[in-house]
Structure 1
């Protein structure tokens, strides 16, 4: 696989940023290639050199973010340091995450995040856990996403470390309580 030249990288980044900007005010289904290219000040021919359609570009953005999150999970041993790096990344790319986590159809992205977190939590094997654990993981991921969105939408007043600590405490609190409920059920 040959390396992209600098012009290609810049062009793709312009398309990515322009789509993110449009998604702040418009639904993904309503954005046309023509509108995107006009806003990006690039030709449709250039767009079609790299992408099939708007959804292809959006999927590539999602995949890029997923790969970065996966990299953070692989590079760090402790859940606390993983979470802190992820929160820092989300904070640095707040427009991107505000869009990705709010876009209609981003449930695929959320499902990918759930699957990724399960694989690193060692809970990907459904045979070794009850259905209750699926509820717990869904709650934890959706709750974490809600906390991150709230943080982004309110101007990131707290530090990434404070948010990652909050998420860690909330998760450990939930785990203990839920384990007690399961034992008594």
Structure 2
């Protein structure tokens, strides 16, 4: 339990440093530990270095996303957006680590929505829509989810309809 709390503090400190504009290569263990309010030895009890922390955090983010998908009864884009609005920090990190390909690769509804949708016959249209979907979600998270998940889902539906005309 003690290690779990330390890891949470470390992850929160990393998130805060990233949000304040730091690149991973610029973050030092000492700075991270000061921000987290822990000793360097506590950091090294849990991680080898900053890159080990980042790698483990990426695995955690993808696992959390996949767990959500597995347990999501609705399996809709709207339910994903609602989940993202509940955990915006997690998903901002998700995009910061360039894990957005996991969204489309693992979300059946998104694949069905874009890839298997017969209205989008051209593969470039699929790519355009998926890139746009990721960009809209990323910007929505960056703006603090000011619009509701329903508004974003409607925007995506509307753009898909326009694209397939």
Q: Is TM (by shorter chain) over 0.5?
A: yes
Gaps of 5+ in 2: 113-121
The equivalent residue for 1:10 is 5
Determine if contact 1:37/1:47 at 8 Å carries over to the other structure. Answer: yes
Task: Give deviations 1:85-143, integer Å, cap 9, x for gaps.
Answer: 22122222223333442x3xx33x13333432479737xxxxxxxxx53x444433321
Q: Which moved more, 1:113-122 or 1:11-20?
A: 113-122
Structure 1 stretches of at least 4 aligned residues deviating more than 4 Å after TM superposition: none
The equivalent residue for 2:136 is 147
Q: Is 1:161 aligned to 2:157, yes or no?
A: no
Task: Give deviations 1:25-73, integer Å, cap 9, x for gaps.
Answer: 2111110111111211111221122112212222222222222222333
Determine if contact 2:104/2:110 at 8 Å carries over to the other structure. Answer: no
User: Residue 87 of structure 1 is aligned with which of 68, 71, 81?
Assistant: 81
The equivalent residue for 2:116 is none
Q: Distance in 2 between matches of 1:148 and 1:69?
A: 15
User: Residue 113 of structure 1 is aligned with which of 103, 111, 114?
Assistant: 103
- TM-score, normalised to structure 2, is 0.76
SS at the partner of 1:98?
A: helix
- TM-score, normalised to structure 1, is 0.69
Determine if contact 2:88/2:144 at 8 Å carries over to the other structure. Answer: no
Change (3 A) 1:75 1:165: farther
Change (3 A) 1:69 1:112: same
Cα RMSD of the aligned pairs, angstroms, is: 2.8
- Give the aligned length: 156
Q: CA deviation at 1:170?
A: 2.7
Gaps of 5+ in 1: 1-5, 123-131, 178-185
